[in-house]
Amino acid sequence: MAFNNEDGKGVRAEMIIEVLGRPPQHLIDTLNKIIEEIDKENGVKVLRKKVNEPQELKDKQQGFYTTFAEIEVEAKEILYIAMLMFKYMPAHIEITYPEAIALTNNGWNEILNELTRRLHGYDEVARVLQIEKNILEKKLRDLLIKEPDEAEEKITATLKKNSTNKKNNKK
């Protein structure tokens, strides 16, 4: 499946996909599976790939490793590159060909609608998680009503502390 870039329809891009975890061989296997999945995507062909050796994280979590893959892809049109971006969340993406890309209104509509669809999906997941968190907190408080007040105060303090830590981490 080769695309003809001379007709102005093919788009080449280089992506970097990073992973973190353990053991090191699992990271390599995971990146290879991701590359295989990218190559199976409609309208996309992997031209080149390089999976780097995992490196152990220093000063943070010993025993965890990180690595990345450099992948060059060719897609029939820019929409497929945008879809790869949302599906595989590369750490970096660079369009290498063509130098200038002109899109029709329909081309922009497809990209923006795909973006909107994905954002709605992420928003739905976030809302469900927030609701589930509230349900779990309520159940925990209900259980603690049967226990001494001291236990409830400790749990409430812990929940507030965790909430404050999350807010500070976002900054």
Query: Any idea where the domains of the chain sit in the sequence?
Result: 5-102, 118-170
- 32-53 confidence digits (pLDDT tens): 999 999 999 999 999 999 999 9
Q: What's residue 152's pLDDT?
A: 61
Phi, psi of 22 (to 5 degrees): -160, 160
DSSP state of 6: G
CA atoms within a 13 Å half-sphere pointing along the CA-CB vector of 61: 7
Least confident range of 67-71, 121-125, 165-169 = 165-169
Q: How far apart are CA 129 and CA 161, in angstroms?
A: 19
pLDDT at residue 132, rounded to an integer: 94
What confidence tier does 127 reach under pLDDT thresholds 50, 70, 90?
very high
Q: Report H helices in 78-104.
A: 78-88
CATH number of 5-102: 3.30.70.60
Q: Is the pLDDT of residue 2 over 50?
A: no
The pTM (predicted TM-score) of the whole model is 0.66
In whole angstroms, how far apart are CA 164 and each of 6, 134, 153? 55, 16, 16
* pLDDT tier, 84 (very low <50, low <70, confident <90, very high otherwise): very high
